[in-house]
Amino acid sequence: MPRRSRAFAFQLAFTVLVSAFLIVPVGMSITAGLTANYFQGVKSGLTLRWVGEVWRLYRETIFLSMTIAGTCLALDLALGVPAAYVLVRRQSRLTRLFEEALVLPVAIPGLATALALILTYGVYREFRTSWVFILVGHVLFTLPFMVRSVLAVLSSIDLRTLEESARSLGASFIQRFVGVVLPNCRGGILAGALMVVTLSIGEFNMTWMLHTPLTRTLPVGLADSYASMRLEIGSAYTIVFFVMIIPLLVAMQLLARPRQHAAAEEPES
């Protein structure tokens, strides 16, 4: 089958080429961050010195990003899960409108949202200069991802009947929400949570408008280092970002197929 193997070879070559096109810059960037002198190349020696420099110069941005991502997640959980529940249980024109409106901050450029926030709330100096100002932007941007993710799971189960059967067994609203609703949308909550944290840590274009010199997040710091530091430091900073974000992305992929996993692990009795 020469024709078929030629087609296969072509496809393989194409795939490798495309992958390389995307992966090589990542590798270059990582190498640059670990090389003593990028212009002399790897032969100048490998070092963690630049990573150390990043830690010294920018660790505040890492902590702030983590604080904002964590708080943003907490708020998204507190707002998004109940919102998704209400959207599923009370389907009306109003809730559909709400669902659409919720997605607007994703559709509108982050710069525009940020500008609107500054125009409206910029006069409150305390608020404007605190990291909570950035947090508000992040919640606006990430909330729809949490709601959508939980909504997808809740819509796929017969929530109403499950709740009715819990009620018939004597469960109060709190008991059935905690004991029946939440556990049955756990997959959606987890997937949404990872998405929210990932997006919040990586969010740049809105944050760039909202930050002050004292409230810089990791991506804002990255931009600063690229603009004003040696190439090695900027690249080392990228490595730090990878270390933070890649475990989250992997966890998200694993969560995307929880059912097959559970079924495969379950012994047939």
Nearer to another protein, 115 or 162 (CB): 162
Asked if residues 237 and 222 have their Cβ atoms less than 8 Å apart, the reply is yes
Asked if residues 206 and 141 have their Cβ atoms less than 8 Å apart, the reply is yes
Both tokens assigned to 151: 């909504």
Phi then psi for residue 266, to 5 deg, are: -75, 120
Applying CB under 8 A, does 19 fall inside the site for another protein?
A: no
Q: What is the dihedral of CA 222, 223, 227, 230, to 10 degrees?
A: 10
Site string (172-211) toward another protein, x via CB under 8 A: x--x---xx--xx-x-------------------------
Binding part of the chain for another protein, among 131-139, 167-175, 192-200, 231-239 by CB under 8 A, reads 167-175
Applying CB under 8 A, does 165 fall inside the site for another protein?
A: yes
Nearer to another protein, 119 or 174 (CB): 174
Asked if residues 61 and 221 have their Cβ atoms less than 8 Å apart, the reply is yes
H helical segments located in 40-107: 49-89, 93-107
Applying CB under 8 A, does 153 fall inside the site for another protein?
A: no
Applying CB under 8 A, does 106 fall inside the site for another protein?
A: no
Applying CB under 8 A, does 228 fall inside the site for another protein?
A: no
Residues engaged in binding another protein (CB under 8 A)? 157-158, 161-162, 164-172, 175, 179-180, 183-184, 186, 266, 269
